[in-house]
Amino acid sequence: MEYKNLGRTGLRISAVGLGCGNFGGIGSAPAFFGKGETEEEAFALMDTACEMGINWFDTANAYGGGRSETYIGNWLKAKGSRVRDQLVLSSKVFNPVGDGPNDWGLSRRHIMGQIDASLTRLNTDHLDMYLTHETPDPATPLEETLRAMDDLIHQGKVRYIGASNMPAWLMTKALWISDKYNLHRFGWAQNSYSLLERDDEREMFPLCADQGLGHTPFSPLAGGWLTGKYESGGSFPVGSRMTLRPEPYSKLVNEKVFRGLDALRAHAAERGTDMASLALAWVMSHPLVTAPILGPRRPEQLEPARRAMEIKLTGEEREVIAGFFV
């Protein structure tokens, strides 16, 4: 396993992270709480990730209604302090965790309450990485959020802070506020990035390069679209994201995307590999990507990560592959 510095911090994380968003649910959607991976299945995934050398697990307070953090905490309790000492734990705050008016968002009140709830579920005294899950929060000044996150670092509850689902203009503003008031800065961005979602190339990647930020993309396989499971004219597999939570990916249902997938499949076969491994290698080969997050449903779905690390793509090869979807 390769390990990389997270932006200009001294924290070293594995070249791929384990996404735990399906532990006990499907992301933060209340309709799916109690579904997704069982605790036993989550344990098997974490065991396999550890055996591969993955040292970074990513979750959120709202995943599975708190079940994701609870499963990880129970696994850590069973494994003992030696495993916790080597693991980089990442969680997030923003999405609703109740029905009250203060049960969501990035206010000082919500952040301070949720960090303690997350630490309790995770069975640990600190988080290595803590992110705002959605930004902006229209109800909370950005300075209030940044001061609260800075306080968590001073209290020893958090080591490094980052931002997920954040546009470049707002990240720029956040960095400016932190610099102005001598607050700890966001150290990385965690946005969607894949062959089918390349918005961050326009503004976020240049900002990362200029400010020394890390980038830990989620959905590097576009919710399974880049694995070959979806074909033109075919029905979506039972239990797939397109049957459970299709809204984020509905825009991909068109012939242009299906033609690109066919080209990617053929190119992968020429190289003696599979679509998922090649698509993941494409993301990992971007010089500004620190490490993508994979959210496997079964241990064997971590194999593309193992193969992707062996695929070295040149800049010209990346352009050829990206051209399949133009």
Helix (H) or strand (E) holding 93: strand 88-93
Q: How confident is the model at residue 238 (pLDDT cuts 50, 70, 90)?
A: confident
Per DSSP, what are the bridge partners of residue 163?
Answer: 132, 189
Among 27-41, 64-78, 115-129, 264-278, which stretch is predicted with the lowest mean pLDDT? 27-41
pLDDT digits (tens, 9 = 90+) for 141-179: 999 999 999 999 999 999 999 999 999 999 999 999 999
Q: Please give the structure tokens belonging to residue 14.
A: 């594995």
Q: Are 110 and 104 in contact (CB under 8 A)?
A: yes
Q: How confident is the model at residue 249 (pLDDT cuts 50, 70, 90)?
A: confident
Cα–chain center distance at 119 = 19
Q: What are phi and psi of 61, to 5 degrees?
A: -60, -30
pLDDT digits (tens, 9 = 90+) for 92-120: 999 999 999 999 999 999 999 999 999 99
pLDDT of residue 244: 72
Q: How confident is the model at residue 240 (pLDDT cuts 50, 70, 90)?
A: confident
pLDDT of residue 218: 98
Per-residue pLDDT averaged across 191-216, rounded? 98
pLDDT digits (tens, 9 = 90+) for 191-201: 999 999 999 99
Per DSSP, what are the bridge partners of residue 220?
Answer: none
Q: Specify the amino acid at residue 292.
A: P
Per DSSP, what are the bridge partners of residue 218?
Answer: 192
The set of catalytic residues is 63
- Give the domains, in start order, of the chain with CATH numbers: 3-221+287-300 (3.20.20.100)
Q: What percent of the chain has pLDDT over 70?
A: 99
pLDDT of residue 108: 98
Q: Are 3 and 13 in contact (CB under 8 A)?
A: yes
Mean pLDDT rounded to a whole number for the chain: 95
Q: How confident is the model at residue 74 (pLDDT cuts 50, 70, 90)?
A: very high
Place of tokens 């734990």: 89
- Three-class SS of 222-265: HHHHHHCCCCCCCCCCCCCHHHHCCHHHHHHCCHHHHHHHHHHH
Closest CA relative to residue 129, chosen from 184, 182, 48, 171? 184
